Amino acid sequence: MAEFTMELNDDQKQVRDWIHGFAADVMRPAAAEWDEREETPWPVIQEAAKVGIYSLDFYAQQFFDPTGLGIPMAMEELFWGDAGIALSIVGTGLAAIGVVANGTEEQIGTWIPQMYGTPDDVKVAAFCSSEPDAGSDVGAMRTRAVYDQAKDEWVLNGTKTWATNGGIANVHIVVAVVDPELGTKGHASFIVPPGTPGLSQGQKFKKHGIRASHTAEVVLEDVRIPGSCLLGGKEKLDERLARSRERARSGGGERVKNAAMATFEASRPAVGAMAVGTARAAYEVALDYAKTRTQFGRPIIDNQGVAFQLADMRTQIDAARLLVWRASWMAVAGRPFESAEGSMSKLFASEVAKKVTAQAIQILGGNGFTREYPVERMHRDSAIYTIFEGTSEIQRLVIARTISGMPIR
């Protein structure tokens, strides 16, 4: 296992510079247009596919970086380019990770290629978990999956919400309840193939930020899928449900719950890295502006009121990155998050993104409040980081419970 280091190696630097170049040359020039259109930026995704950024191979290479820094480095650079377009590029990865983590080799080989398509015919995938009444409270999930043994089919009914690429995806991965009595331990994930009858797009959300990323409801009405579309297979599901029932009877359910929490913890640093990218982008705009904008005969950065804000912004961004890198390294090194370090990184970075982008607007003054400058968009985009992948309140709850050992509510 690689030792922790704050210095990227030559290969990592090459990858970082490559992604940064794509973000600067392709994503940034298109950012304002797709934000205004509030549509999926298919041409940009296609360009990303042609150069190799929009592919499972690319994300796999970063994921298996032995230092743990591949994914946060890539996320920071892409979201430095533009958060909405970046989420359109990386959104398919959520569904792909769901299949890789839970699926059989046959399922991985069959469905992952269909999620991405080809550079000439790009596809996207959607991961559908949240529901209108089940966001932070995943135990309130109502979407049901019932097994029809006679036909070896699963029948899905329910409504999912906040689904990135929901309804426009080639492949949907849907989390559903198979045993209501087991609560969150009675959930399973299913592949809904392209063109399956009964799946439709519900409301498409008009959002405050990340507007180039498609977010919608997914409605499931008697959606029938083959038994082979249960991720991991029915034998594995039956064994897992049996163990959960036995643990529930013996009072051992809490251990399962903590294992699931550890899985969520490991994914949160990537969102923190996204927030760092957006914060860094806004800081750089503000710094450049402060050095070139003159008032009273001198650049405004000559004033402590502006210079000290920029000093604080840079300090907070670097601190957020270090928390993200620490948690990412701990995850790949198998170190336990004994103080909820994954949640710490996501909480701090997301709050920093909101604060730094707001400060950038203040430094630009009236210009910052217009769409002629990108900090206005960056500030709108930053709001999502304190909401998705667990709100800031949920992160604080996780951290408080972990450090105290108490069932804080």
Q: Which is it for strands 153-164 and 215-226: parallel, antiparallel or unpaired?
A: antiparallel
DSSP secondary structure letters along 44-57: HHHHHHHHTSSSHH
Looking at residue 76, its amino acid is E
Which residue of the set 77, 131, 351, 389 is catalytic?
389
Helix (H) or strand (E) holding 34: helix 28-37
Residues 273 and 305: their CA atoms lie apart, in Å, by: 28
Any residues with CB less than 8 A from the CB of 183 and at least 6 apart, and which?
139
Active-site annotation holds for 389: yes
- Say if residues 213 and 205 touch (Cβ distance below 8 Å): no
d(CA 7, CA 253): 42
Q: Which two tokens stand for residue 88?
A: 């359109």
Contact 116, 122 (CB under 8 A): yes
Residue 204 CB contacts under 8 Å (≥ 6 apart), including other chains: 167, 214, 215, 216, 217
The residues annotated as belonging to the active site are 389
